[in-house]
């Protein structure tokens, strides 16, 4: 059974960098694609980006200038960094496995709420 678990600070100050990590168990991170998705309170889902099994990345054009996704194969984790955050970045952040870089998320974490506030 594949499991994903997000971890990171629950509060980030405006203009600072949001950093989250997703720990994957039950599958090697050297396969498939690994995505970050977010959902502002009371709003819909937004794809942030993915990192592939080969290490290539692809980001939402609207966030690309502020986002970096990286992978650590030794710990089977992948991470999200988002710079210059504002209140608009307050959301539940999910990590997920994408089977084909197509929005086909078969496994995801339970989500972690990140609030941007001073």
CA-CA distance, 17 to 55, in Å (whole number)? 22
Distance in Å, CB of 35 to other proteins, minimum = 7
- 63 phi and psi angles, rounded to 5 deg: -120, -5
Strand partners, 20: 80
Strand partners, 79: 21, 70
- Would you count residue 113 as binding other proteins (CB under 8 A)? no
Instruction: Using alpha carbons, select from 36, 19, 11 the residue that is nearest to residue 87.
Output: 11
Query: Given the rule CB under 8 A, which of 9-17, 69-77, 82-90, 98-106 is the region that contacts other proteins?
Result: 98-106
Strand partners, 114: 91
Distance in Å, CB of 80 to other proteins, minimum = 15
Distance in Å, CB of 16 to other proteins, minimum = 25
Candidate residues 22, 35, 67, 69; the one interacting with other proteins per rule CB under 8 A = 35
Residue ranges binding other proteins (CB under 8 A): 35, 44-47, 49-50, 58-61, 94, 98-106, 108-111
């Amino acid at each position: 059974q594949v499991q994903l678990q997000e971890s990171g600070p629950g509060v980030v100050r405006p203009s600072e960098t949001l950093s989250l990590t997703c720990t994957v168990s039950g599958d090697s991170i050297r396969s498939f694609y690994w995505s970050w998705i977010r959902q502002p309170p009371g709003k819909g889902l937004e794809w942030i980006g993915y990192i592939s099994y080969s290490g290539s990345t692809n980001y939402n054009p609207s966030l690309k200038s502020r986002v970096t996704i990286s992978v650590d194969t030794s710990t089977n984790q992948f991470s999200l960094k988002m710079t210059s955050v504002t209140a608009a970045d307050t959301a539940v952040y999910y990590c997920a496995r994408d089977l084909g870089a197509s929005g086909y998320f078969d496994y995801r974490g339970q989500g972690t709420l990140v609030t941007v506030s001073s």
